């Protein structure tokens, strides 16, 4: 592996002057997971100059930075974030919205620090680095195929848990923001699916990592595709049914599950395990109600849903799954076929939990929630539209999987409830205006039988 020069000395010296800027900027980022808790300090895990900071042109600083916050469980490390910072003496006006702040002290006092991914020159450099496997300091770059040079980058504005860049409408690079030691399932599973010959998931063509952590993955960009969430909202707005799409999505989900079962271990859920699953849902509910007190009045009703799943039939396959399946994770290509993306799992869960085998019915429940979400965000609320989509999705799934997810309704309902509880916490943290959407499901699930 060729090694290119890197410097770690200067960035270390920069931390005291960077810290006040990060203090302001980090908590405002959509992908910042520690919202609502004070930031008390930063520790550098790694710092790499991908372009020298004190050269005549822009510098590019890659950081893995631990963010100290109170309230972290004993023995767990502070969250670690990946940042790519641009450093320039003069910031051109087109980059003004990317400004994080100006350094007040230290060797580079006066220079502007900004979101490097928003600078096409720096984003282009990252792509060129990915094209050439090898190391730069602690960063290791891999590619499975020869990649075309010099593709123009653009950063996607639909920023969610991570940040994504599209290169020349040919590839999309996802930069993981909160990183943990261990393979990221968004690399691991698409690679396994590609080996199993599953064409439903874009196969990774390059990635980079540091130590045991996956930092970014480059995949083919499905141009002219539209995500299932937008398509569902359009259908609702036009007063159209979405059942044919829902059924095709059910089949696509089943195909991905079958391919994952072929590539990685699978087994049947035992009746004896359902008690532990229900207990874990109970624990998550308890923690969620501490974080979002609006859940409190519904706790007894929701616990009854979990109790009903304890001792349920079992029988569902237990294997690696998507883990955070919703309409926004599906893309319909120009050929009408559906692809599934973003296998990272629920961003708030620890990595080892996200990588553990789980009942396939959990993914099904995620999509069922999503049809409800779409219907609920539309005025007037159309509950029947959602019910028809949900039934069609399960039918499509059963056709391709050979097993109907509705066979064990208590387990399906428990997973749907577990997901709604997760969504309440997610919305409270990230999009408080959306909180009524999962809360309406909480109300329904806690009372109706
Ligand atoms: N292979 C792809 N082709 C086209 N668009 C994609 C592809 N992968 C992701 N996207 C789009 O990029 C955005 C972010 O992707 P996603 O993997 O869901 O990131 P996050 O983890 O931040 O939610 C989404 O809007 C999605 O539709
Ligand atoms: O896509 P991500 O991996 O970042 O997932 C997180 O954000 C999602 C929202 O963007 C969130 O999904 C929830 O809202 C969707 C509509 O925006 C809806 O379709 C989903 O059903 C609902 O869960 C997801 O839960 C969260 O992990």
pLDDT tens, residue by residue, 189-226: 999 999 999 999 999 999 999 999 999 999 999 999 99
User: Which mutation among 161, 246, 322, 326 tests ligand 2's pocket best, with the greatest number of atoms within 8 A of CB?
Assistant: 326
Which-ligand-closest: CA of 427? 2
What DSSP letter does each residue of 340-359 carry, written as one string?
E--TT--TTS-HHHHTS-EE
Q: In what order do the strands lie in the sheet with 153-155?
A: 3-4, 134-136, 139-143, 206-210, 213-220, 171-175, 163-167, 153-155
Ligand 1 atom closest to residue 225's alpha carbon, by position in its atom list: 4
Q: Kindly report whether the peptide bond that precedes residue 37 is cis, defined as omega within 30 degrees of 0.
A: no
- Cα-to-centroid distance, 163 and ligand 1 (Å): 9
Cα of 169 vs centre of ligand 1, distance in Å, is 13
**Is any atom of ligand 1 closer than 6 Å to the C-beta of 221?**
yes
Q: Helices 436-447 and 361-377: crossing angle, nearest 10°?
A: 120
Burial class (CB in 10 A: 0-12, 13-18, 19+), 404: middle
- Given a cut of 90, whether residue 3 has pLDDT beyond it is no
Structure tokens at 46: 């790694």
pLDDT band at 176 (very low <50, low <70, confident <90, very high): very high
Residue with tokens 């749907």: 416
pLDDT bin (cut points 50, 70, 90) of residue 369 is very high
Q: Which of 414, 413, 439 lies closest to 424, judged by CA?
A: 439
Say if ligand 2 is within 6 A of residue 319 CB.
no
Residue 1: band (very low, low, confident or very high) from pLDDT cuts 50, 70, 90: very low
Q: Is the CB of 156 under 6 A from ligand 1?
A: yes
Q: pTM for the whole thing? A: 0.93
**Average pLDDT for residues 117-124, to the nearest whole number?**
98
418: buried, middle or exposed (CB in 10 Å: 19+, 13-18, 0-12)? buried
**What pLDDT does residue 449 have?**
61
Burial of 139 per CB tally in 10 Å (0-12, 13-18, 19+):
buried
Indicate if ligand 2 lies below 6 Å from the C-beta of 373: yes
Q: Is 62 in the pocket of ligand 2 (CB under 6 A)?
A: no
pLDDT of residue 53: 92
| Residue 361 · residue 369 · CB < 8 Å | no
Ligand with minimal distance to 330 CA: 1
Instruction: Say whether pLDDT at 150 is over 70.
Output: yes
Q: What is the mean pLDDT of residues 158-171?
A: 90
Ligand lying nearest the CA atom of residue 341: 1
Q: Which protein residue's CA is at the shortest distance from atom 7 of ligand 2?
A: 160
Distance 298 CA to ligand 1 centre (A): 34
pLDDT band at 343 (very low <50, low <70, confident <90, very high): very high
Cα of 376 from ligand 2 centre, angstroms: 14
In the block, tokens 């990221």 appear at: 184
Q: What is the pLDDT of residue 5?
A: 44
How far is the centre of ligand 1, averaged over its atoms, from the C-alpha of 26 (Å)? Answer: 22
Torsional sign, CA 187, 192, 194, 199: negative
The mean pLDDT value of the chain amounts to 94
Phi first, then psi: give them for residue 337, nearest 5 degrees. -80, 155
Cis peptide before 380 (omega within 30 of 0): yes
Q: Which ligand is the nearest neighbour of the Cα of 33?
A: 2
Contacts of 425 (CB under 8 A, 6+ apart): 288, 291, 292, 348
Ligand whose nearest atom lies closest to the CA of 233? 2
| Confidence check: pLDDT of 6 > 60 | no
| Ligand 2 centre distance from Cα of residue 434 (Å) | 11
Nearest to 422 by CA among 327, 347, 355: 347
Query: Which residue is closest in CA terms to ligand 1's atom 1?
Result: 221
User: What's the whole-number mean pLDDT along residues 375-392?
Assistant: 95
pLDDT band at 10 (very low <50, low <70, confident <90, very high): low
CB-CB contact of 173 with 163 (8 Å):
no
Output the residue whose Cα is nearest ligand 1's atom 27.
227
Contact present, 62 and 139 (Cβ < 8 Å): yes
Q: Taking residues 125-132, what's their average pLDDT?
A: 97
Beta pairing partners, 102: 112
Pick the residue whose CA is nearest to atom 21 on ligand 2: 370
| pLDDT score for 190 | 98
Helix (H) or strand (E) holding 13: helix 9-25
DSSP 199-256: TTSPPP-EEEEETTEEEEEEEE--TT-EEHHHHHHHHHHTT---HHHHHHHHHHHHHH
Ligand nearest to the CA of 326: 2
Report which secondary-structure segment, H or E, holds 60. strand 59-68
- Identify the weakest region by mean pLDDT among 118-122, 158-162, 409-413: 158-162
Helix (H) or strand (E) holding 370: helix 361-377
Alpha-carbon gap, residue 351 to 36, rounded angstroms = 22
Question: Taking 80 as the threshold, does the pLDDT of residue 7 lie above it?
Answer: no
Nearest CA to ligand 1 atom 9: 341
Q: Is the ipTM of this complex over 0.90?
A: yes
Q: For residue 251, report the distance from its CA to the centre of ligand 2, in Å.
A: 21
Query: Which residue puts its alpha carbon closest to atom 10 of ligand 2?
Result: 160
Nearest Cα residue to 111 out of 95, 135, 133: 95
Q: What is the rounded average pLDDT of the residues 11-32?
A: 90
C-beta 160 within 6 A of ligand 1: yes
Q: Is the CB of 369 under 6 A from ligand 2?
A: yes
Q: Report the sign of the C-alpha dihedral through residues 438, 443, 448, 449, in that order.
A: positive
Structural contact between residues 61 and 103, judged by C-beta atoms closer than 8 angstroms = no
The Cα–Cα gap between 437 and 420 comes to: 9
Which atom of ligand 1 is nearest the CA belonging to 162? 22
Q: Is 370 in the pocket of ligand 2 (CB under 6 A)?
A: yes
């Amino acid at each position: 592996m060729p090694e290119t020069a890197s410097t770690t000395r200067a960035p270390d010296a920069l931390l005291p002057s960077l810290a006040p800027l990060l203090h302001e900027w980090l908590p405002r980022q959509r992908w910042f997971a520690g919202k609502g808790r004070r930031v008390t300090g930063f520790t550098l895990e790694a710092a790499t100059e991908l372009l020298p900071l004190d050269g005549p042109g822009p510098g590019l600083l890659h950081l893995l930075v631990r963010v100290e916050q109170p309230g972290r469980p004993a023995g767990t490390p502070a969250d670690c974030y990946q940042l790519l910072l641009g450093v320039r003496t003069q910031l051109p006006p087109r980059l003004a919205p990317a400004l994080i702040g100006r350094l007040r002290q230290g060797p580079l006092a006066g220079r502007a620090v900004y979101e490097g991914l928003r600078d096409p020159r720096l984003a282009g450099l990252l792509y060129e680095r990915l094209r050439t496997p090898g190391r730069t300091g602690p960063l290791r770059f891999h590619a499975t195929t020869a990649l075309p040079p010099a593709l123009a980058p653009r950063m996607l504005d639909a920023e969610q848990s991570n940040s994504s860049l599209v290169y020349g409408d040919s590839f999309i690079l996802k930069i993981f923001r909160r990183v943990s030691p261990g393979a990221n399932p968004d690399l691991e599973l698409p690679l396994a699916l590609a080996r199993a010959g599953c064409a439903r998931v874009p196969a990774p063509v390059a990635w980079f990592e540091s130590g045991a952590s996956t930092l970014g993955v480059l995949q083919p960009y499905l141009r002219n595709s539209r995500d299932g969430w937008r398509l569902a909202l359009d259908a609702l707005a036009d007063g159209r049914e979405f059942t044919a799409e829902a059924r095709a999505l059910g089949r696509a989900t089943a195909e991905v599950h079958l391919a994952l079962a072929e590539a990685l271990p699978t087994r049947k859920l035992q009746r004896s395990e359902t008690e532990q699953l229900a207990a874990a849902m109970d624990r998550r509910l308890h923690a969620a109600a501490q974080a979002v007190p609006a859940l409190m009045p519904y706790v007894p009703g929701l616990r009854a849903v979990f109790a009903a799943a304890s001792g349920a039939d079992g029988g569902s396959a237990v294997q690696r799954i998507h883990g955070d399946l919703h309409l926004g994770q599906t893309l319909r290509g120009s050929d009408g076929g559906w692809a599934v993306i973003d296998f990272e799992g629920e961003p708030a869960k620890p990595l080892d939990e996200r990588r553990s085998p789980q009942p396939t019915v959990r993914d099904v429940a995620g999509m069922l929630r999503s049809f409800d979400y779409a219907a609920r965000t539309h005025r007037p609320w159309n509950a029947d539209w959602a019910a028809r989509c949900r039934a069609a999705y399960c039918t499509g799934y059963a056709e391709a999987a050979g097993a109907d997810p509705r066979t064990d309704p208590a387990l399906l309902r428990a997973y749907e409830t577990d997901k709604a509880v997760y969504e309440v916490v997610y919305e409270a943290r990230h999009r408080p205006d959306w909180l009524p959407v999962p809360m309406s499901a909480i109300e329904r699930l806690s009372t109706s039988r």
